[in-house]
Amino acid sequence: MEKEQDIEVVKKKFTDYLSQKGFRKTVERFAILEIIYSDTKHFSREMLQKALTIRVSRATLYNTLQLLQECNLVLKHQFGKKTFYERAFKNDFHLHLNCTVCSTTRELKDNDFKKCMQNKKLINFTPFRYSLNIYGICNKCSLKEKRKKFEKKKLEEAKNCVIKINQK
């Protein structure tokens, strides 16, 4: 229910912004907004294009994402070499855990960190929101690497064993 209300608030904000700037309120523009707010995921431009059920030109997609950023409804992130977008409304404080091996990004809401940031005094500056990128390795990749190392070790051991037997 809360999510549905959020969508309505967000739509209203976008409608107001478009009116104020004299831009047309097209079906395409609102379809893009709805896709972004349909999920908590991060979307690349290609992912958005694929998720849309109506045809939207690349130019419209690009232009709409620009407008949505201008009215603070969408956030843009650079994860590695790729650009991603995500909802901005009610998403002011969060961390991104980026795996440098498989390039996946997980979002993390951490209340301790939030409190810490809220108590932080920034000289001559008032923060509205933040997103912090933490780079590392995800569990899946870490397990894979451990397994690889383990297999390599077993292989080495087997080889050494063969050499020893041959030497006898």
Residues engaged in binding Zn ion (CB under 5 A): 86, 99, 101-102, 107, 138, 141
Asked if 74 and 88 touch (Cβ cutoff 8 Å), the reply is: yes
Shortest distance in whole angstroms from residue 108 CB to Zn ion: 9
Shortest distance in whole angstroms from residue 101 CB to Zn ion: 5
Shortest distance in whole angstroms from residue 141 CB to Zn ion: 3
Instruction: Pick the closer one to Zn ion by CB: 19 or 103.
Output: 103
Instruction: Pick the closer one to Zn ion by CB: 23 or 79.
Output: 79
Alpha-carbon distance of 88 to 85, in angstroms, equals 9
Alpha-carbon distance of 143 to 137, in angstroms, equals 10
